[in-house]
Amino acid sequence: MKVVRGDGHRAHFPDGEISGGKLVRPFECPERVEYIEAALDQAGLTDDVEPTAVPDSLLRQVHDTDYVDFLHDAWNDWTAAGYSGDMIPTCFPARRMVQRVPNDIDGRLGYYAFAAETSITDGTWAAAHEAASIAHTAQKLVSGGDAAAFALCRPPGHHASRDFFGGYCFLNNAAVAAQGFRNDGADRVAVLDVDFHHGNGTQDIFWERNDVFFASLHGDPRSEFPHFLGFADETGAGDGAGATLNHPMEPGTGFEEWSAALGDALARIERHGVDALVVSLGVDTYLADPISSFKLDSPDFSTMGRMIGEAGMPTVYCMEGGYAVEEIGVNTVNVLTGHLDA
């Protein structure tokens, strides 16, 4: 299995994030990739491919043009206004407020954000653009005939919507890969999100589309981030009615229940008749992940990969969550080798 990776992610590393009322070292940090790379090397998964830049037109197929322009220009606009620290949103357009883009950069920051834990720095655009390029390159490999490829994306992407960022995500890497498959001739594509947190951004992007089926297995939003999307009764709208599947699960969920949900999602994806699969691969379902509450153990990730591999679909894995514990590398590699074993 080819691995697409780069070093540009290191440019994005905010000074801190707000957690529990304190400014703490970000959970989403460069060590995440370092742990994964070490495990890939140890497992012999070293067939590396350099990313090719994602076309701007593809980004604007999955994200609103004004939002892409905002991300591209945000740091320059921030520093031009006299600010020097990380861009942390502090004001949001809530219920019954006018949904109009402010001129002021501080206002625009809040308009295009949905969570205050996610900062923009001077290197954020370059890192996010490279992550999307990594996903795009992996998709091109699979469209070109590879059975599967792994996109080692950082920052992650599945919380990034058509027009807002948050949850450590800026550009939606999985959506870029899914749309790339469609552009290359796939009639129908599925995005399977196995991250602990609901892929609210991906759901939003494809909510009214039948050509991309979205399935997510995640912590119940009544108790877990992102709180306001990911309930079981959310099934799509318009042309996309029935093309969204959510499996929210309670804190403490173990692999028996989780794997049953995965089996159901894979069956639904098969019935939808898809030509390619994008997996939003979060391994923060691990029992020792610092910001999650499921109880999957490392061997379970091998079974997960085998179940996905047995579905027999051309597959791109896009890295999402799983935080800075060493097992993030072991668990990621277990998924990939489980897929290869299938």
Helices 173-183 and 124-143 cross at an angle (nearest 10°) of 40
Q: Are 338 and 330 in contact (CB under 8 A)?
A: no
CA pair distance 280, 186, nearest whole angstrom: 18
Q: What are phi and psi of 59, to 5 degrees?
A: -55, -40
- From first to last of its 342 residues, the chain has per-residue pLDDT tens of 999 999 999 999 999 998 999 999 999 999 999 999 999 999 999 999 999 999 999 999 999 999 999 999 999 999 999 999 999 999 999 999 999 999 999 999 999 999 999 999 999 999 999 999 999 999 999 999 999 999 999 999 999 999 999 999 999 999 999 999 999 999 999 999 999 999 999 999 999 999 999 999 999 999 999 999 999 999 999 999 999 999 999 999 999 999 999 999 999 999 999 999 999 999 999 999 999 999 999 999 999 999 999 999 999 999 999 998 999 999 999 999 999 999
**CA-CA distances (angstroms) from residue 274 to 147, 249, 278, 314, 325?**
15, 26, 11, 10, 35
Domain boundaries, the chain: 2-64+121-341
By CB atoms closer than 10 A (0-12, 13-18, 19+), residue 7 is exposed
SS3 267: helix
Tell me which residues are annotated as active site: 159
CB contact burial 19-39 (16+ within 10 A = b; e otherwise): eeeeeeebbbbbebbebbbeb
Q: What are phi and psi of 4, to 5 degrees?
A: -105, 125
Q: Which amino acid is at 98?
A: V
Please compute Rg for the chain using Cα positions.
18
**Token couple for 284:** 């923060």
- Residue ranges of alpha helices (H) inside the chain are 31-43, 56-62, 65-80, 105-111, 124-143, 173-183, 200-206, 255-272, 298-310, 327-341
Identify the CATH class of 2-64+121-341. Answer: alpha beta
Q: Are 320 and 168 in contact (CB under 8 A)?
A: no
